[in-house]
Amino acid sequence: MEKIFGTDGVRGVVGEKITKEFVYNLAKSVGIFLNKKSGKKVLIAHDTRVSAKMIEEEASKALNQCGIDVVLGGIMPTPAVHYLAKKHDFDLAIMITASHNPAEYNGLKLITKDGLKFSTKQEDEITEIYHNISKYSLKEKSGQTISDESLKEEWANCLEEIINDDFKGLKIALDCANGASFELAEKIFKKLGAEVVVICNKNDGNLINKDCGSTHLEKISKTAKQDGCDLGFAFDGDADRVNAVFGDGKIISGEELLFLGCMALYEQNQLKNNKIITPYVTNCGVDKSLEKYSISVVRCDVGGKNIQEKLIEQNISFGAEDNGHIVWGDYNKCSDGILTALFLTKLYKQKDFKEICKNLKLFEQVKLNVNVSEKQKEKFLNGALNKDLEELNKSLKKDERIIVRASGTEPLFRVVVEGTDLKTLNAIAQKVEKLIKDL
Task: Give the number of other CB atoms < 10 A from CB of residue 200.
Answer: 26
Q: Among residues 29, 51, 60, 99, which one is catalytic?
A: 99
Beta bridge partners of 95: 45, 109
- Spatial separation of the C-alpha atoms in residues 298 and 278, rounded to whole Å: 6
Task: Give the number of other CB atoms < 10 A from CB of residue 146.
Answer: 8
The count of residues in the chain is 439
In degrees, to the nearest 5, what angle opens at C-alpha 240 toward C-alphas 239 and 244?
A: 75
- Spatial separation of the C-alpha atoms in residues 335 and 326, rounded to whole Å: 5
- Spatial separation of the C-alpha atoms in residues 315 and 159, rounded to whole Å: 22
The stretches of 318-412 forming alpha helices (DSSP H) are: 337-350, 353-357, 374-381, 386-394
**Does residue 107 sit in helix, strand or coil?**
strand
- Spatial separation of the C-alpha atoms in residues 10 and 34, rounded to whole Å: 18
Phi, psi dihedrals of residue 93, rounded to the nearest 5°: -135, 150
- Spatial separation of the C-alpha atoms in residues 245 and 392, rounded to whole Å: 36
Radius of gyration of the chain (CA): 22
- Spatial separation of the C-alpha atoms in residues 75 and 179, rounded to whole Å: 9
> 10 CB contacts (<8 Å, ≥6 apart)?
4, 18, 26, 107, 108
Q: Is 99 a catalytic residue?
A: yes
- Spatial separation of the C-alpha atoms in residues 438 and 257, rounded to whole Å: 36
Q: In 14-79, at which residue ranges do the beta strands (DSSP E only) sit?
A: 41-46, 69-75
Q: What is the DSSP string of 168-227?
A: TT-EEEEE-TTSTTTTHHHHHHHHTT-EEEEES----TTSTTTT-GGG-THHHHHHHHHT
The residues carrying an active-site annotation are 99
